[in-house]
Amino acid sequence: MARKKRKTKSAKKKRSLRLSRQNKVILGSLLVLLSIALFFSFISFYFNWQDDQSLLTEFADRNKEARNLLNKFGAAVSHFFMFKGFGLASLVFPVLLCLTGLYMFLGIDLRGLLTKWIWGLVLLIWVSVSLGFLGAQQPLLGGQIGFEMNDFLQDYTGKIGVMLLLLFGLVVILVRLFGFDPQAVGQAFSRLNVPGMSLSGNRKASETGASQPDATEATAAAMDLTAEGEGSQEAEPEPVKPDPYTHKKDIPSLSGDSQPADEDPGQELEIEVAEQEEETDETDLRSSQLVSDFGEFDPTLELSKYKFPHLDLLDTHGASGGITINQEELEENKNKIVDTLRNYKIGIAQIKATIGPTVTLYEIVPEAGIRISRIKNLEDDIALSLAALGIRIIAPIPGKGTIGIEVPNKKPTTVSMRSVIASKKFQNAEMQLPIALGKSISNETFVVDLAKMPHLLMAGATGQGKSVGLNAILTSLLYKRHPAEVKFVLVDPKKVELTLYNKIERHFLAKLPDTEEAIITDNTKVIHTLNSLCIEMDNRYELLKAALVRNIAEYNKKFKARKLNPNEGHRYLPYIVLVIDEFADLIMSAGKEVETPIARLAQLARAIGIHLIIATQRPSVNVITGLIKANFPARIAFRVTSKIDSRTILDTQGADQLIGRGDMLFTQGNDTIRLQCAFVDTPEVAKITEYIGSQRAYPDAHLLPEYVGEDSGTGLDYSIEERDDMFRDAAEVIVTAQQGSASLIQRKLKLGYNRAGRIIDQLEAAGIVGPFEGSKARQVLVPDIAALDQLLNNETN
């Protein structure tokens, strides 16, 4: 534990030693300017040193002036470096300082500097020792250190020894620093045909009897390969030889058109990667600094005093939570099932009952050799013998190896919302948008995550519990989520079902700017809202892209950790739940204009936290179209009147055998589960919304992006120059399809809603489509592409 702490401490220390980007720029510029100052003072010191030497002792005297370009500072510093130090070689210092400064200033990885400093110092010593030979006559050339080192070496190796040592140093410098290879010199000589300098290759060629010109050609070809794509004969042939020490450098390039070594893209890439790493390091550093200063971003801070609704606002509806078991009824039903089956010569090996709130499930294991389909066919006969509605046979129960017969209880128990909200399962649910739908057949609370669904379709005949179901979903979310975390967009064409939620407008609802009521009851407003949600979706995707994350949960996590800068448009993203209470009404009056944005939202909105809940009492195929169905894998079916309706909702029958009053089938793609929906009455919803609504709220409802509808484009005086770049493509799409709708352009050309709307206006101005006609698509006034071409040509002429 202690070690861990120490580790994190040292890690913190390490991190805090690193310079921030701004500090690097400041320090970098200082170093560059200092190097310039040093350079000029060294140069001018070389010419004025004798005049200035007397001044060095009178440094404090302000009346004395040095001849050095940087006055007394220049004279003193240069005296230290050049006279006392390394002489002319001291010029290496300003060069190295300038390089370091530039690296810092331009944000290049500093690790590359180390080798430059090492070689710089080697050069410094080599030059100053070499010039130390002349120290007696010209003390400034090698400086005192150069002279002394030279003298010291001479004492042991003599003048010649020092010269040889220096010569060796020169070879090392030339080979390692400048990549010099004597072979290249040899090859250059051979190309010039210097007598007596022929290469071994040539010699070999002549030995094997090949003619001289052939051999020269071969060498030239070999050189071409190494000439790194320049292809010219004059190009200096690059030696292809691995480094004898590291075996890394000078690895011959395979392709002829590779870059020269100093423009190696790999190196550039390395620098880029290093820069990126540095950048992310820096943002990490900044964000952890911010987090340690202010703590994580808390989206709930604005309404920090917000109190979640408490359980007492909900009713028990007379249920104690458990189910009263009527043993007699149980026995009776069991016997009846066994008898009926026996009448049809179906023996039963085992029977077991599970009691749920509304139905009891009898699981039977038939004797060996009995066909399942025979039992399935007896559904009506069993129903008759039990004299009960809503018997459903599940043969076999998936994953259990038994056959299930669901028989409604004579006295169904109401599942109160209170009991499901109070359940441990819901209270401890680690979900983004937990919904307590009700209880399963085995009396377990059923909780699902709306964020995982990711959209929900609810259908059922009128009066079977749809509105109660919607309220149960909304209540679940109100009990679990803070106003900052989730926003509802409520569409209520029936105008009465969701009005209660008006009270929580400034807490939980989202609306279009400049609208009074947050709950939408008007169809044109619905279209605007849906399109506005599409814009919000596109905006959110942009934000996610910029933040390099894949979904809203990761995005918000990053935002809370202060890794995303609000100045760059980043913001905490609340989940948005769109609830449409009566979808049939909407799709009948607005058709495609509603269907297209809903399908688009359903297809794409899952990752960015927009979830759709659509309810309808008319589960027919023209309401729940294929396009809608394909995008709503999670479906709830309340009781319907026909098998066909059940198929339309669930793709399977069963919903027609439900008993109503919140009895429902839920599917999330594969299995169908029978549930009893939790019951929450209108007065309870009123109490909850009242409780929330009486608390401090945001100044306004959550505002959705503005949507400029097709109908609002009144200024139709677009000139030809003002037209959108995609105008012609859009015109062709519209004329080919003979359908003047912005959503078509949007889909075919992959444009945003605003842009497609503008193009439609331009098309109207150009006389290609007719005026806006409400929910119907605009009339296309041009019959075919040829006519369109003619129209546009006439325009330009």
Ligand X SMILES: Nc1ncnc2c1ncn2[C@@H]1O[C@H](COP(=O)(O)OP(=O)(O)OP(=O)(O)O)[C@@H](O)[C@H]1O
Copy the structure tokens of residue 434. Answer: 């937990």
Answer whether 609's CB lies under 8 Å from 576's CB: yes
**Binding-residue pattern over the window 747 to 766 for ligand X, x denoting contact by CB under 6 A:** --------------------
Quote the CA–CA distance of 600 and 597 in Å, as a whole number: 5
**Least separation in angstroms between CB 488 and ligand X:** 18
Binding of ligand X by 414 (CB under 6 A): yes
Binding of ligand X by 583 (CB under 6 A): no
**Least separation in angstroms between CB 463 and ligand X:** 4
418 or 723: CB nearest ligand X: 418
**Least separation in angstroms between CB 371 and ligand X:** 37
Candidate segments 124-132, 441-449, 459-467, 555-563, binder of ligand X by CB under 6 A: 459-467
Answer whether 778's CB lies under 8 Å from 743's CB: no
Helix/strand/coil percent split, the chain, to 5: 55, 10, 35
- Does residue 404 have a known ligand-binding role? no
260 or 463: CB nearest ligand X: 463
Going by C-alpha positions, the residue among 665, 681, 669, 671 that lies closest to residue 440 is 665
For the range 321-329, what are the long-range contacts, defined as Cβ-Cβ under 8 Å and sequence gap of 24 or more?
A: 321/419, 323/355, 323/356, 323/357, 323/413, 323/443, 324/411, 324/413, 325/355, 326/409, 326/410, 326/411, 329/409, 329/410
- Does residue 466 have a known ligand-binding role? yes
Binding of ligand X by 683 (CB under 6 A): no
Q: How many CA atoms within 13 Å lie on the side-chain side of 407?
A: 28
Binding of ligand X by 316 (CB under 6 A): no
**Least separation in angstroms between CB 474 and ligand X:** 13
- Does residue 694 have a known ligand-binding role? no
Binding of ligand X by 674 (CB under 6 A): no
Kindly report the three-state secondary structure assignment for every residue of 716-745: CCCCCCCCCCCHHHHHHHHHHHCCECHHHH
Run of H or E residues at 268: helix 265-294
- Does residue 183 have a known ligand-binding role? no
- The residue with its CB nearest to ligand X is 662
Candidate segments 220-228, 258-266, 463-471, 774-782, binder of ligand X by CB under 6 A: 463-471
Candidate segments 225-233, 455-463, 553-561, 720-728, binder of ligand X by CB under 6 A: 455-463
Copy the structure tokens of residue 36. Answer: 């310039």
**Binding-residue pattern over the window 638 to 667 for ligand X, x denoting contact by CB under 6 A:** -----------------------xx-----
682 or 790: CB nearest ligand X: 682
**Least separation in angstroms between CB 638 and ligand X:** 6
713: DSSP letter: -
Residue 637 backbone dihedrals phi, psi, to 5 degrees:
-115, 120
**Least separation in angstroms between CB 464 and ligand X:** 5
**Binding-residue pattern over the window 211 to 250 for ligand X, x denoting contact by CB under 6 A:** ----------------------------------------
Cα-to-chain-centroid distance, residue 576: 18
**Least separation in angstroms between CB 467 and ligand X:** 3
As to burial, measured by CB atoms within 10 angstroms (0-12 exposed, 13-18 middle, 19+ buried), residue 16 is: exposed
Quote the CA–CA distance of 23 and 27 in Å, as a whole number: 6
Binding of ligand X by 465 (CB under 6 A): yes
Kindly identify the residues of this chain, within the stretch 609-638, that bind ligand X according to CB under 6 A.
Answer: 617
For 691, residues 6+ apart whose C-beta sits below 8 A from its C-beta are 309, 310, 313
| Residue from 68, 100, 130, 464 binding ligand X (CB under 6 A) | 464
Q: What is the largest CA-CA distance in the chain?
A: 130
| Residue from 675, 677, 701, 731 binding ligand X (CB under 6 A) | 677
**Binding-residue pattern over the window 468 to 497 for ligand X, x denoting contact by CB under 6 A:** x-----------------------------
Binding of ligand X by 679 (CB under 6 A): yes
Going by C-alpha positions, the residue among 656, 624, 654 that lies closest to residue 639 is 656
**Least separation in angstroms between CB 592 and ligand X:** 25
Going by C-alpha positions, the residue among 721, 711, 726, 725 that lies closest to residue 764 is 711
340 or 464: CB nearest ligand X: 464
- Does residue 460 have a known ligand-binding role? yes
Concatenating the DSSP letter of every residue in 308-349 gives: PPPGGGS--TT--SS----HHHHHHHHHHHHHHHHHTT--EE
679 or 727: CB nearest ligand X: 679
Quote the CA–CA distance of 791 and 736 in Å, as a whole number: 15
Residue ranges of the alpha helices (H) in 208-264? 212-226
**Least separation in angstroms between CB 466 and ligand X:** 3
List residues forming the annotated binding site for ATP.
Answer: 460-467
List residues forming the annotated binding site.
Answer: 460-467
Summarize as ranges the residues that interact with ligand X (CB under 6 A): 414, 460, 462-468, 617, 661-662, 677, 679
